[in-house]
Chain A
Amino acid sequence: MSRRLPWGPMARLTGRRIAFAVPVLAAVTFGVFAIAAASPFDPVKAYAGTAGLTASQENLDQLRANLGVDQPLFARWWDWLTSAVTGDLGDSAVMRQPVAQVIGERLGWSVLLAATAFLVAVVLGTLLGVLAARRQGGWLDRAVTSLAYTLEAAPPFWLGLLAVWLFALKLGVLPAGGLTDTGSSTITAGQVLSHLALPAGVLAVSQLPWFVLYVRQGVGDALDEDPVRGARARGLAPRTVLFGHALRSGMLPVLTLIGSRVPELITGALLVETVFSWPGIAAATVQAATSVDFPLLAAVTVLATLAVLAGNWAADLLYGIADPRVGFDG
């Protein structure tokens, strides 16, 4: 595309989204604090762990005061919010570490996992979708579509367990979990790659069906449109028609899909990380939730919300660029 990008409208869309994000984030964090406060879990018991079983009442009361969980809900949330705005995310009770450090140590691995899976899903999904669309109703099309529908119904953690059983236990070709080999203390690229293969593969496969089905539909429709038929009539090679013309217009719906898949990707990653003991943000999220670790829980929720908002923003932006008729009003 050689035409110039509409910078003005794009910036206005971005500004609107940022302004919109502020109240959304405030509301979401308050919701997290409210839900956590209403949960039956006691943060003091979670913090004390087995030591709590022999702790004296005085000791437990002191812990409650030290952790600040005896404060009313609104005060706790306001404290958290005001210090978070200044960059202090607080300390995670369950990890015994500053929240920023917990996130710093883990987010990179989660991003690596999610990005690899997403890339694989988009590339593989597009390829399979185009191949299926080329001859709709053919054996390849039928195989790919039925596989896609089956995968769509399979939950990621179930796929994960299946993959562990097959590749790690039966075939013994890939490690069942962790970031590196158990006995190893250094992180090498080779080890990370071999340990990344299964979780990223499972996450990619769980995202795959949507891309396959959307691309197949989009490209299939495009193949029936006049410009493509025209190109074919001019005697262009089928390959050029398929990838050069049909794919380009067929990809349009996929662009929005890419943005809107972000929430699914996050929940999928949480489940996959748990199955494969991947040291990402998921384990921290689960632990934060079950031990009512307010600061960590709130920070993790903000991250997830930001990712979703960014995904939607990117989708709208891409769609607007690809199809000028849509504009940037949304």
Chain B
Amino acid sequence: MARPARSATAGAAVTALAVAAAACAAPNDDAKSGGTDSAVVGIAYEPDSLSPLLGYGKDGNSKIFDGLLTHDADMKLKPALAAELPKVTDDGRTYTYKLRDGVKFSDGKPFTSKDVVFTYDTILDKKTNNASKAELDAVRDVEAKGDDTVVFHLKYPYAPFAERTVLPIAPQHVAGQQDVNNGRFTTRPIGTGPYKLVKWSKGEKLVFKANPDYWGGAPKIKNFTMAIIKDDDVRATRLRSGDLDGAILPPNLAKTFKADTAKKTYAANSFDYRVVTLPTGNKVAGDTDIRRALDIGVDRKAMVDQILEGAGKAAYGPVPTDSPWFTKGTEREHDLAKAKKLLDQAGWKTGADGIRKKDGVRAAFPLWYLAGDKLRQDHALAYASDAKKLGIDVKVESGTWEVIMPRMPKDAVLAGGGAPADPDFDQYSLLKSSLAGNGFNNMAHYDNKKVDAALEDARRTDDKAKRQAAYDTVQRALVNDPGYTFLTHIDHLYVVDKKFGDLSTQVEPHDHGLASGPWWNVEDWKA
């Protein structure tokens, strides 16, 4: 058997060390011993790779890298590797970025426009296994002008494009020398960011050390560790035992820390919605009257109170009610009587079994959720029980995506999503009729000409008022012609030791990125 030499030496080294261990068992709690220049947090999710070329950190805020732009606490864009916000010319088709001076990668090599071009070109390359490259669909080409200017030429005017340039920049002199899909860079990244990766023990933890030469100033928290603990209960236990300084927790476990005076609970507002897709291809779920009845017949408040234990809010579309993009007046009151009346008038008559019928079609359809996801299961069951009260038989079933995906054109699915950066991101992919059945885009096969036109208008102008008007049109259309039943926007809960002072959170997307939670700006924490 040809065992790789490194494992043999590792094993041997450890055995040798183990023998000598009794003699040198001195405590080595470097990170835990007092002081607050170290932080250890527990997270539930582990990235597949740390290479931005494969999609890591594409929504900004990765601790190892910087993008051209980044978000502040209110999710407003601000310059990072760019010296200022981009100049947009040519009717929104050309974006010009001036780069910050004197920035170095953590290996000491300077950052230049070549690295930016390399990063975008590599992501768009067909041979690169990046599953998010469609987000850069608007890009025609990227051009370096001298060392300190980068120009993006777009295929069509795309107002939210600047939001896409938060994605991290990789060093060409390192990443360009290796296999982009499997090279060393995917697990040992080098960037310009506030932290350097010291160690990634897969399935166990990520260890970061402050980058003393960071262009934004050296972080006060010198050692930062993310422990990957998938099980919620284990995470809570290790937080309680002092092994962790902070952790993300589901509502029921976060509640158990209420009485702990040394810890504080943070509820991060999010765009993370749970929704039921009502596929147009289903005779019942595709019926506008059924859709509207369900839209006002579901008790969203009860879901927030009981399923989310209050940590969240009712959702009426992908845009949360507290976002400036939300169209006031499109909230739907829970009104069972009105919903029943609507169905009666539309000719859906209650049959002997309590389920409605129209033209021989029974008001019934299946609702799938991802097996093992407790939160989605609870939402699905609550939805089915509300539907039952209207005389609609929703049969809840669970499966993996492999089972669910082929059924999406006909069966309803309890889905989730949410991208806070720009209203275009969620609404275009959810509602655009030309994207129906394209991967996970427009799962409901929603088809509304007026909405299609408004979505196009909204992305082709960067006039804020015109965009708002277009998204108002979309959100109002969803009231009369809902292709989805939006249920809730869920808060993400974090419990953190008070020794770090008062912290803040960003508005969070559906994905639990590494840098979500109060540690989104760990580099700014006062040690």
Contact = CB atoms under 8 A, between A and B. Distances in A.
Interface string A51-67: 11111111110110011
Contact of B203 (A50, A191, A283): A283
B20 A105 contact: no
A48 interface: yes
Contact of B441 (A54, A87, A112): A54
Given A40-B402, A107-B3, A108-B10, A96 B182 contact: yes
Contact of A47 (B18, B131, B132, B179): B131
B306 to A, nearest CB: 27
B17 interface: yes
B465 interface: no
Interface stretch (B48-56, B61-69, B276-284): B48-56
Interface residues of A, number: 67
Nearest to B237: A169
A171 to B, nearest CB: 12
A87 to B, nearest CB: 7
Contacts of B30: 183-186
A51 B55 contact: yes
A108 B127 contact: no
B259 interface: no
A173 interface: no
Contacts of A137: none
Interface in B147-190: 179, 181-182, 186-187
A192 B14 contact: yes
A45 B4 CA distance: 31
A108 B11 contact: yes
Interface in A56-97: 56-60, 62-63, 66-67, 87, 91-92, 94-97
B438 A182 contact: no
B346 interface: no
Please tell me the size bucket of the interface on B. Answer: 35 or more
B204 interface: yes
A123 interface: no
B215 to A, nearest CB: 24
A176 to B, nearest CB: 7
A183 B31 contact: yes
A52 B51 contact: no
A303 B7 CA distance: 13
Contact of A87 (B2, B17, B234): B2
Interface string A191-223: 111001000000000000000000000000000
A181 B129 contact: no
A45 B402 contact: yes
A55 B429 CA distance: 10
A179 B201 contact: yes
A21 to B, nearest CB: 10
A277 interface: yes
B450 interface: no
Interface in A149-202: 169, 172, 176-179, 181-193, 196
A27 to B, nearest CB: 18
A112 B32 contact: no
Contacts of A105: 6-7, 10
A196 B18 CA distance: 10
A184 B227 CA distance: 11
A100 interface: yes
A203 B91 CA distance: 67
B73 interface: no
A96 B187 contact: yes
Contacts of A40: 400, 402-403
Given A60-B131, A176-B234, A112 B201 contact: no
B440 A53 contact: yes
A224 B318 CA distance: 81
13 contacts: A52-B440, A57-B439, A60-B131, A66-B181, A95-B48, A96-B187, A107-B11, A184-B29, A184-B31, A190-B24, A279-B201, A279-B202, A306-B1
